[in-house]
Structure 1
Amino acid sequence: MKLAPRTELYESDSGFVLRTADDEHFALALDRDEFDQLAQALAGSVAPVSAKPKTALSALLTAGHVVPDSSTEEVAVLGCGSVAAALVGMLGRVGKSTGHAATRSISVSDDGVEFLGSGGSISCFRDGNRYVVVPEGVRLTDVTMRRAASRRNRQRIEDGYAPRAGGLRLISSIHPVSDAAAEFVAAQVLAEVIDPTADHCVTAIDLRTLRVTRHPILPVPEPPR
């Protein structure tokens, strides 16, 4: 436990005082030994023994003047690429470790769902010019089946425009996921880890405009037997 930001406990001529983050001042009815017990509890060394510092600590917690230690959740990032690297860095900066004893995992692929590792509670993959973030409450197969169906309609090539076998062909060497896009996508994934969206919605990020949209995904019914 720690004092909340801009909060102080100090000794004055009239006794011990709490100064809150709003610059309000309150007297603490504690003697020197009781104040020392409270200070040791805030330092994380030992819990208060006497009743008065115990009560004071409970009251400070309830009022928000003392904040509990944040538990460090371990989140594994399964995959490689620019989004995975950006995500690992962001998770570390917000106090979530990425060790092997992870309680949650995120599968990430910059190069399509077919390269996505299995086992992630959250799945993120590139689908053309979009990056798709699939939350825990949505089955990955439901997403891929629906996107494959819509892609079939978009990718039809008119007669005469299909590439000729053995013909000349130039393809861009620039990867669709730029460094800026990777950071932006990683931020959306981190938001999903911290504050999940609706269970039935996936998040899509346009890699060119960085526009974020949400799409409801209902379960695909099982075929009749």
Structure 2
Amino acid sequence: MDEQCEPGSFDLDALAAYYDESKRFFIGAKTDRDFIHFSPERHGKYPFIGSFSWYTSVVEARKAQWREAHLRQVVEIMHLLGSPLAQSGLDDDFQRKRDRIEPNEDGFGSKLVFNLRDYSEGLDGLYWRNIFGAPFVDLFGPRLDAIPASQRQSLDGGLVLVQPYELPTQAMTAEGDAAEGQLIATLGRDAFFDLPTLTKPTRVPDVSWMLHKH
């Protein structure tokens, strides 16, 4: 966010040099509404702790054409990055499931605690759209077939979409929470973090093949 790129005239070599130095990108549009965060784990031992995040206004999701394009674009990015998991939903929904504030042991101040380090430790919940690659398809097995066809879709490259509700704005509602809970029960609660008891998943995806590939 320190530099401004002029449309159509910015220097790609300069961007590549910046990426080589920082190992990440955070790009914000002039609208201050759209952001892309690209932070891969290129040189570390665990490739699955990298991330690609895209933020935009939830208002766009009201349009069926946008939702269709969104799904296509996310699938294309997953194939480009070799990612076995993509999740889309409200930022507030991610925040309430992914981390929490706990008081420090000495009684002074507090700290941010992440419920799970990354998807190698399981899932922190289901969101509006959950696209599973091979490790999760193998993890859930026939349980995926038990999900109603209206909430499940097979995609290119063996990916499977699980979508509890039609619109992302249905998250954090009684209806949305009930739909999510039902699908988690179908897929197996032991594969998901349990927020009320702060219990980590006991059934996790096999990502050992990623370590060898990396």
Provide the TM-score with structure 1 as the length reference: 0.22
Indicate the structure whose relative CO is greater, using CA pairs within 8 Å and at least 6 residues apart: 2
Return the structure number with greater helix share. 2
Larger radius of gyration: 1
Provide the TM-score with structure 2 as the length reference: 0.23
